[in-house]
Chains A and B, each alone.
Chain A
Amino acid sequence: MNYLFQIRFILIQNRAGKTRLAKWYMQFDDDEKQKLIEEVHAVVTVRDSVSYALSVLFSQFRNFKIIYRRYAGLYFCICVDVTDNNLAYLEGIHNFVEVLNEYFHNVCELDLVFNFYKVYTVVDEMFLAGEIRETSQTKVLKQLLMLQSLE
Chain B
Amino acid sequence: MPAPIRLRELIRTIRTARTQAEEREMIQKECAAIRSSFREEDNTYRCRNVAKLLYMHMLGYPAHFGQLECLKLIASQKFTDKRIGYLGAMLLLDERQDVHLLMTNCIKNDLNHSTQYVQGLALCTLGCMGSSEMCRDLAGEVEKLLKTSNSYLRKKAALCAVHVIRKVPELMEMFLPATKNLLSEKNHGVLHTSVVLLTEMCERSPDMLAHFRKNEKLVPQLVRILKNLIMSGYSPEHDVSGISDPFLQVRILRLLRILGKSDDDSSEAMNDILAQVATNTETSKNVGNAILYETVLTIMDIKSESGLRVLAINILGRFLLNNDKNIRYVALTSLLKTVQTDHNAVQRHRSTIVDCLKDLDVSIKRRAMELSFALVNGNNIRGMMKELLYFLDSCDPEFKADCASGVFLAAEKYAPSKRWHIDTIMRVLTTAGSYVRDDSVPNLIQLITNSVEMHAYTVQRLYKALLDDISQQPLVQVASWCIGEYGDLLVSGQCEEEEPIQVTEDEVLDVLEGLLVSNLSTPVTRGYSLTAIMKLSTRFSSVNRIKKVVSIYGSSIDVELQQRAVEYNALFKKYDHMRPALLERMPIMEKSASNGPTEIVQTNGETEPSVVEPKHLPPVTQPVNQANDLLDLLGGNDVVPVIQTTMPTKPASAGGELLDLLGDLSLSAIPPMTAYNKNGLKIDFTFERANPNPNIAVITIHASNSTEADMTDFVFQAAVPKTFQLQLLSPSSNVVPALNQGTVTQVIRVLNPQKQQLRMRIKLTYTLKGSPVQDLAEVNNFPPQSWQ
Contacts and interface: CB of A to CB of B under 8 A. Distances in A.
Interface stretch (B188-196, B683-691, B768-776): B188-196
Nearest to B247: A135
B159 A129 contact: yes
Contacts of A128: 123-124, 127-128, 156, 159-160, 163
B240 A91 contact: yes
A133 to B, nearest CB: 6
Contacts of A132: 192, 247
Given A133-B155, A138-B237, A27 B290 contact: no
B17 to A, nearest CB: 13
B247 A88 contact: yes
B720 interface: no
Contacts of B294: 85, 88
B196 A131 contact: yes
A35 interface: no
A34 B61 CA distance: 12
B162 A129 contact: yes
Interface in A51-66: 51-55
A28 to B, nearest CB: 8
Nearest to A121: B83
A45 interface: no
B193 A133 contact: yes
A54 B166 CA distance: 26
A12 to B, nearest CB: 11
Interface in B62-115: 79-80, 83-84, 87, 90, 94-96
B297 interface: yes
A32 to B, nearest CB: 12
A134 B96 CA distance: 30
A87 B247 contact: no
Contact of B246 (A5, A27, A91, A131): A91
A49 to B, nearest CB: 10
A103 B780 CA distance: 101
Interface in B326-346: 326-327, 329-330
A150 B189 contact: no
Contact of A5 (B55, B203, B325): B203
A42 B246 CA distance: 32
Given A117-B51, A117-B54, A131 B286 contact: no
Given A91-B286, A131-B196, A147-B117, A136 B156 contact: no
Interface string B1-44: 00000011001000100000000000000000000000000000
Contacts of A131: 159, 162, 193, 196
A101 interface: no
B633 interface: no
Contacts of A15: none
Contacts of A113: 11, 15
B248 interface: yes
B205 interface: no
A29 to B, nearest CB: 9
B715 interface: no
Interface residues of A, number: 49
Contacts of B240: 91, 95
A50 B238 CA distance: 28
Interface string B718-732: 000000000000000
Most B C-beta atoms less than 10 A away, residue of A23, A25, A132, A138: A132
B363 interface: yes
A10 to B, nearest CB: 11
A103 to B, nearest CB: 16
Given A114-B11, A124-B124, A151-B79, A86 B326 contact: yes
Contact of B330 (A25, A51, A87): A87
Interface in B250-270: 250, 254
B237 A120 contact: no
A85 B246 contact: no
Given A92-B247, A131-B159, A139-B237, A87 B290 contact: yes
A96 to B, nearest CB: 12
Interface residues of B, number: 63
A16 interface: no
Contact of B286 (A19, A87, A151): A87
A130 B129 CA distance: 10
Contacts of B124: 124, 128
Given A90-B286, A91-B246, A22 B51 contact: no
Contact of A136 (B7, B127, B237): B237
Contacts of A22: 58
A129 B127 contact: yes
B289 A87 contact: yes
B287 interface: yes
B293 A117 contact: no
B58 A85 contact: no
B599 interface: no
A71 interface: no
Nearest to B82: A150
A113 B14 CA distance: 11
A5 B294 CA distance: 14
Contacts of B90: 120
Q: Which of B80, B240, B293, B327 has the most CB of A within 10 A?
A: B240
Of A86, A113, A135, the most chain B CB neighbours within 10 A belong to A135
Task: Among A91, A130, A139, find the residue whose CB has the most chain B CB atoms closer than 10 A.
Answer: A91
Contacts of A34: 60
B361 interface: yes
Contacts of B237: 136, 138-139
A3 B192 CA distance: 20
Contacts of B608: none
A33 B577 CA distance: 74
Contacts of B193: 131, 133
B242 to A, nearest CB: 13
A122 to B, nearest CB: 12
A133 B162 CA distance: 12
A29 B254 CA distance: 32
14 contacts: A3-B203, A18-B59, A23-B128, A34-B60, A54-B329, A85-B250, A86-B326, A91-B286, A117-B51, A128-B123, A128-B156, A129-B163, A134-B155, A135-B238
Given A133-B156, A135-B192, 12 more contacts: A25-B128, A53-B330, A85-B250, A88-B250, A92-B247, A117-B83, A120-B90, A129-B127, A129-B163, A131-B159, A133-B189, A134-B192
9 tightest Cβ-Cβ pairs between the two chains A and B: A87-B290, A129-B163, A128-B159, A129-B127, A88-B290, A135-B247, A129-B159, A150-B79, A136-B237
